[in-house]
Amino acid sequence: MSATTEKSTLQRVLEIARAETGTKEMQGKSTNPRILEYHQTTKLKAVSDEVAWAAAFVNWVLKQAGIEGTDSSLARSFLRWGSPLRSPVPGCIVILKRGPAPFGHVAFFVRRAQAGFIEALGGNQADQVKISAYRESDVLGYRVPDSTNEVKD
């Protein structure tokens, strides 16, 4: 993928993710159908918005952009996806520590924030799609799609 194609692809991914901002879990026994839609992009295919859904959200966004994700509900599955980046760019995937392996969090990098922090747009951040700040020291990796992730028409 050329640098120009990569940039436009990542911009499109970030636009799709931003359009979902505010999608949140429902209280009680109700389940948000949009979050169930996110879950359908993973092998787990969870039927509740109470099941961790950060990786499902990233997989769903990628699918909307015509990019194959990991099909996994595990955030750290993205450490083996696409190509690694040394330095993040807006729209790339950021994988973060959250407890011991195999647990983690995954979202889309938005920008560097105050010293030692980044901002990322993701699902299941305070039970909703939103931008949140994370410590750079919790970053496990940054990834971008490569040619193996492109969905052929």
Which residue type does 133 have? Answer: A
Q: Are 54 and 105 in contact (CB under 8 A)?
A: yes
Predicted confidence (pLDDT) per residue in 67-106, tens digit: 999 999 999 999 999 999 999 999 999 999 998 888 899 9
For residue 35, give the 3-state DSSP assignment.
Answer: helix
Say how many residues make up the chain: 153
- Taking alpha carbons only, the member of 103, 99, 109, 100 closest to residue 141 is 109
Q: Does domain 3-149 have CATH number 3.90.1720.10?
A: yes
Contacts of residue 100, defined as CB under 8 A and 6 or more positions apart, other chains included, come to none
The residue extents of the domains of the chain are: 3-149
pLDDT of 114-130, one tens digit each? Answer: 899 999 999 999 999 99
pLDDT above 80 (res 148): no
